[in-house]
Amino acid sequence: MAKLVTGGTGFIGACLVDQLLERGDEVVVLDRAQTNHWDGASRKPKIVIGDITNWPEVMNVFHDNSIDCVYHLAAMLSLPSEANPWAAFQVNVVGTMNMLEAVRLFGPNKIIMASTTGTYGLDIDAPEITDTTLQRPTTMYGSTKVFAELQGRFYRKKFGTDFRSVRIPSLVGPGIKTRAIGQYNSWMIEAAALGRPYVCYGLPDRGLPLIYYKDTAAAFAALSDADMDRIKTINYNIAGVNVSATPRDIEAAVKRLIPDAVISYDPDPVVVQYFATLRFDALNDDPARAEWDWQPKFGTVDAIVEDFAKEVRAHPERYPL
Ligand SMILES: NC(=O)c1ccc[n+]([C@@H]2O[C@H](COP(=O)([O-])OP(=O)(O)OC[C@H]3O[C@@H](n4cnc5c(N)ncnc54)[C@H](O)[C@@H]3O)[C@@H](O)[C@H]2O)c1
């Protein structure tokens, strides 16, 4: 039996696939984009190039492979979704519906999905977000992910589908290609580690809770492994650094490690608008810790920056900015 990872050639997906292969799982990837990530690797997934919005392509993946769990990560991220909301609807809403139907009809009826703290937005009445905070996003991306969370919950009730999800906060890691809100944190560290100046498109003093990519990938497998009867909350917040870290906080950590780093700011209007409606400073992930033993390995900005810079400096050829 194999694990199916949608979006498995993407940034988090490839790291998750590596971790699944590492623990001996057979892995099938469904993604519309190719990758050279496993060129020369001894352990590789089977890669199926296909689109989750194309129902026959999805059915064929289940017909051709024995799947016992789906990790559903394929999606359009925040800024691309704002630029093309019509495509975001197809991928994030219709594509997710296709995956829920596919696991119900052909598969193991088990699916772990990537959601986002971008599902929060207006009318937050406390500085700390919890799993029961009102989700009222103003973005296309956030709206599609709220739908996906609720649709998963519905499938669980109606069809007994073992649906679970993690809400990923601002992601940090080397080699991110897709521009989204918060990716400037990663590109700042990457540029500094490569000895290059960086102009940050974020607001210097507005931040988000963070998570390192290695922790994010590990969360999917940990959530999947937990016994069904422990899963009460279903859609879980997770974070590495639970209190918002601003670009200036990242800059300070970078400069502790790389004192001559050159960093300046030119905020993107979409980012400015996003923070104008966002009012939270911390993310509570207690239910994830209690129900499936969530525990990040990288829990401080300095720990993240240190591991990140080590990776970039060890393999600069992988990170041609
Ligand atoms: N990057 C972040 O900061 C962040 C934060 C919160 C949540 N997430 C979620 O995590 C997941 C993975 O994000 P990522 O950072 O790895 O992004 P990514 O853009 O690197 O990867 C997404 C992958 O999905 C694939 N994809 C997109 N549309 C597809 C389609 N129609 N059919 C098949 N494949 C398709 C892309 O080709 C890509 O490989 C997404 O669901 C995203 O919403 C990401």
> Residues 262, 308, 26, 91: what is their CA dihedral angle, to the nearest 10 degrees?
-40
Rounded-to-integer distance, Cα 233 and Cα 217, Å: 20
Per-residue pLDDT, 321 = 62
282, 294, 280: which is closest to 216 by C-alpha? 294
**Residue 29, H or E segment:** strand 26-31
Pocket around ligand 1: residues whose beta carbon is below 6 Å from it? 7, 9-13, 31-33, 51-53, 73-77, 91, 95, 114, 116, 168, 170-171, 178, 180, 182
Give residue 91's identity as a one-letter amino acid code: V
Rounded-to-integer distance, Cα 301 and Cα 311, Å: 16
Residue having the nearest C-alpha atom to atom 30 of ligand 1: 51
User: What letters, b where the CB count within 10 A reaches 16 and e where it falls short, cover 27-50?
Assistant: bbbbbbeebebbeeeeeebebbeb
What is the distance in A from the centroid of ligand 1 to the CA of 233? 23
Which atom of ligand 1 is found nearest the CA of 78?
A: 43
Rounded-to-integer distance, Cα 299 and Cα 227, Å: 25
What is the distance in A from the centroid of ligand 1 to the CA of 114? 8
Which atom of ligand 1 is found nearest the CA of 117?
A: 6
Which atom of ligand 1 is found nearest the CA of 77?
A: 43
Which atom of ligand 1 is found nearest the CA of 52?
A: 32
Rounded-to-integer distance, Cα 269 and Cα 207, Å: 15
- Residues of the chain under the 50 pLDDT cut: none
Per-residue pLDDT, 160 = 97
Per-residue pLDDT, 292 = 98
Question: Ligand 1 pocket check: which of 15, 16, 29, 32 to mutate, most ligand atoms within 8 Å of Cβ?
Answer: 32
Residues with a catalytic annotation lie at: 141
Residue having the nearest C-alpha atom to atom 3 of ligand 1: 171
Q: What are phi and psi of 254, to 5 degrees?
A: -60, -45
What is the distance in A from the centroid of ligand 1 to the CA of 255? 30
Residue having the nearest C-alpha atom to atom 10 of ligand 1: 114
Question: Coil, helix or strand for 146?
Answer: helix
Tell me which DSSP letter residue 300 carries: S
Per-residue pLDDT, 79 = 85
Structural domains of the chain ordered from first start: 2-169+212-237 (3.40.50.720), 172-208+241-280+297-318 (3.90.25)
Rounded-to-integer distance, Cα 106 and Cα 100, Å: 10
Question: Ligand 1 pocket check: which of 6, 9, 19, 31 to mutate, most ligand atoms within 8 Å of Cβ?
Answer: 31
